[in-house]
């Protein structure tokens, strides 16, 4: 069940973040846009993050429902992390810091070596007040509609060696304590800023991590669907589907290396699609579009049937999605009259905002066998 405050936030976001069950919702990451691309983005994407105020104003002038998220680290403070504040990119690190803000282990701050940020004490009242006041101001300055909180995972899930001093790779009491911290912190931020919070929940494939993200508006799944073992793929989609059923926003962000990867990510997304689910096939920093975003299978005819040992399927009003997430070929028996839909072309949107006419969907006979780690999008219309 939705709590009253969360229900109000999601109701306010609904005109913006409603992909509808029949249409594929596309949510982009950071973009620098030409005037032509502004027109394209505003009419093809549900929203994006890390946009300056002038770009937000341009996008909303075309589409008032375009939804923008303000970026911040969820549990860190970056030494050199750049964030948007109005029309400026500024360093996240403030002029003055208090030692009590930082999470200490054995009396020392924990430093994330790869990304250059310190782990914060999210239970500290002073840090809570400072962070939420800054975030609320930045959202107002940029004319954003909500917050994207990056790296919202239990710290040692990034790998114990990612930190100085090193964190344990496995420490159940430590992990349980941080899960509780996240479950206190994320809804606190959302309540304090009065805007939807989307948390980057990582890949959702750590079996011992049961962090409950349902107390905020939604999550982004990082590296969605691709290059996962069958069990992990099944776990990720099962957890995503649980949040979809709770009416939470779910952004599925994948990093495909081929057209086959794109179809696999698309089909995996369609398996768990609801009316607040979004897909981002991310390969460049430029605004992107792929023909498969235009696939129209109609509304889902029921829930997904997920399998880690066979084919996973979901029926739609005008089609069928089939995913083979296993390591073995699987026979495919397509219903009569169904055609395989395959994308041709796609990539960075031209500066003009006009797509090449060669980018299209091609129809053909379905295969008799679905190879490992591949998917089929079948249309009956």
Residues facing residue 251 across a β-bridge: 220, 278
Q: Where do runs of H (alpha helix) occur along the chain? A: 4-13, 35-44, 53-62, 125-142, 172-193, 230-245, 259-272
Contact 116, 78 (CB under 8 A): yes
**Is 357 part of a structural domain of the chain?**
no
The Cα-based distances of 75 to 111, 170, 220, 281 in angstroms read 12, 19, 16, 26
**Is 361 part of a structural domain of the chain?**
no
> Assign residue 345 a region: left if phi > 0, alpha if psi is -120 to 50, beta otherwise?
left
DSSP-based three-state secondary structure for 154: coil
Residues 318-362 pLDDT 10s: 999 999 999 999 999 999 999 999 999 999 999 999 999 999 999
**Is 212 part of a structural domain of the chain?**
yes
What secondary structure letter does DSSP report for 317? T
**Is 355 part of a structural domain of the chain?**
no
Half-sphere exposure of 312 (CA within 13 A, CB side): 29
Residues sharing a CB contact under 8 Å with residue 242, sequence separation 6 or more, in sequence order:
none
Q: Quick check: 182 pLDDT over 90?
A: yes
The pLDDT assigned to 323 comes to 98
Contact 298, 381 (CB under 8 A): yes
**Is 232 part of a structural domain of the chain?**
yes
Contact 182, 121 (CB under 8 A): no
Helix, strand, coil fractions of the chain, as percent rounded to 5: 30, 25, 45
The pLDDT assigned to 5 comes to 53
**Is 363 part of a structural domain of the chain?**
no
Residues 110-144 pLDDT 10s: 999 999 999 999 999 999 999 999 999 999 999 99
Residues 31-62 pLDDT 10s: 999 999 999 999 999 999 999 999 999 999 99
Residues 271-320 pLDDT 10s: 999 999 999 999 998 999 999 999 999 999 999 999 999 999 999 999 99
**Is 24 part of a structural domain of the chain?**
yes
Average predicted confidence (pLDDT) for the chain: 94
Written as one string, the DSSP assignment of 215-261 is TSSEEEEET-STT--HHHHHHHHHHHHHHHHTT-EEEEEE--SSHHH
Closest alpha carbon to 296 in 367, 377, 225, 358: 377
**Is 372 part of a structural domain of the chain?**
no
| Residue for token pair 């399998």 | 307
> Which residue range forms the structural domain that includes residue 86?
4-295
**How many angstroms separate the CA atoms of 44 and 66, rounded?**
10
Q: How many domains does the chain have?
A: 1
The pLDDT assigned to 7 comes to 56
**How many angstroms separate the CA atoms of 243 and 215, rounded?**
10
Closest alpha carbon to 340 in 260, 241, 273, 258: 260
**How many angstroms separate the CA atoms of 15 and 19, rounded?**
9
The pLDDT assigned to 254 comes to 98
The pLDDT assigned to 10 comes to 56
**How many angstroms separate the CA atoms of 16 and 88, rounded?**
25
Q: How confident is the model at residue 17 (pLDDT cuts 50, 70, 90)?
A: low
Closest alpha carbon to 290 in 341, 355, 346: 346
The pLDDT assigned to 8 comes to 53
Half-sphere exposure of 145 (CA within 13 A, CB side): 23
CATH of residue 48: 3.20.20.70
**How many angstroms separate the CA atoms of 353 and 59, rounded?**
13
Residues 28-38 pLDDT 10s: 999 999 999 99
Q: How confident is the model at residue 381 (pLDDT cuts 50, 70, 90)?
A: confident
Q: What average pLDDT does this structure show over 214-218?
A: 98
Q: Quick check: 1 pLDDT over 50?
A: no
């Amino acid at each position: 069940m939705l709590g009253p405050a969360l229900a109000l936030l999601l109701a306010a976001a609904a005109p913006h973040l409603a992909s509808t069950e029949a249409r594929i919702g596309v949510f982009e990451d950071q973009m620098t846009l030409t005037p032509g691309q502004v027109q394209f983005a505003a009419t093809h994407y549900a929203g994006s993050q890390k946009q300056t105020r002038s770009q937000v104003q341009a996008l909303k002038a075309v589409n008032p429902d375009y939804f923008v998220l303000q970026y911040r680290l969820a549990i860190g403070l970056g030494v050199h992390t750049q964030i948007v504040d109005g029309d400026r990119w500024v360093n996240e690190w403030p002029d003055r810091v208090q030692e009590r803000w930082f999470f200490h282990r054995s009396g020392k701050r924990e430093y994330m070596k790869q990304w250059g940020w310190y782990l914060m004490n999210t239970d500290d009242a002073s840090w809570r007040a400072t962070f939420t006041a800054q975030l609320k101001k930045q959202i107002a300055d940029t004319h954003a509609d909500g917050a994207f909180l990056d790296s919202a995972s239990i710290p040692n899930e990034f790998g114990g060696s990612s930190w100085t001093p090193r964190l344990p790779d496995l420490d159940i009491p430590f992990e349980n304590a941080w899960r509780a911290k996240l479950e206190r912190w994320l809804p606190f931020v959302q309540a304090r800023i009065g805007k939807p919070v989307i948390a980057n929940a990582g890949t959702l494939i750590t079996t011992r991590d049961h962090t409950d993200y349902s107390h905020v508006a939604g999550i982004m799944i990082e590296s969605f669907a691709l290059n996962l073992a069958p069990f992990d793929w099944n776990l990720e989609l099962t957890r995503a589907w649980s949040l979809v059923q709770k009416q939470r926003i779910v952004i599925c962000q994948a990093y495909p290396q081929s057209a086959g990867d794109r179809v696999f990510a698309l089909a995996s997304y369609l398996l768990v699609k609801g009316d607040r689910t979004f897909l981002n096939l991310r390969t460049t920093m430029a605004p992107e579009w792929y023909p498969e975003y235009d696939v129209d299978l109609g509304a889902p005819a029921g829930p997904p049937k997920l399998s880690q040992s066979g084919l996973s399927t979901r029926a739609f009003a005008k089609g069928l999605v089939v995913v083979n997430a296993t390591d073995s070929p699987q026979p495919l028996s397509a219903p009569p009259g169904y055609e395989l839909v395959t994308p041709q072309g796609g990539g960075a949107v031209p500066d003009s905002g006009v797509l090449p006419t060669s980018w299209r969907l091609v129809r053909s006979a379905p295969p008799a066998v679905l190879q490992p780690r591949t998917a089929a999008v079948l249309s009956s219309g």
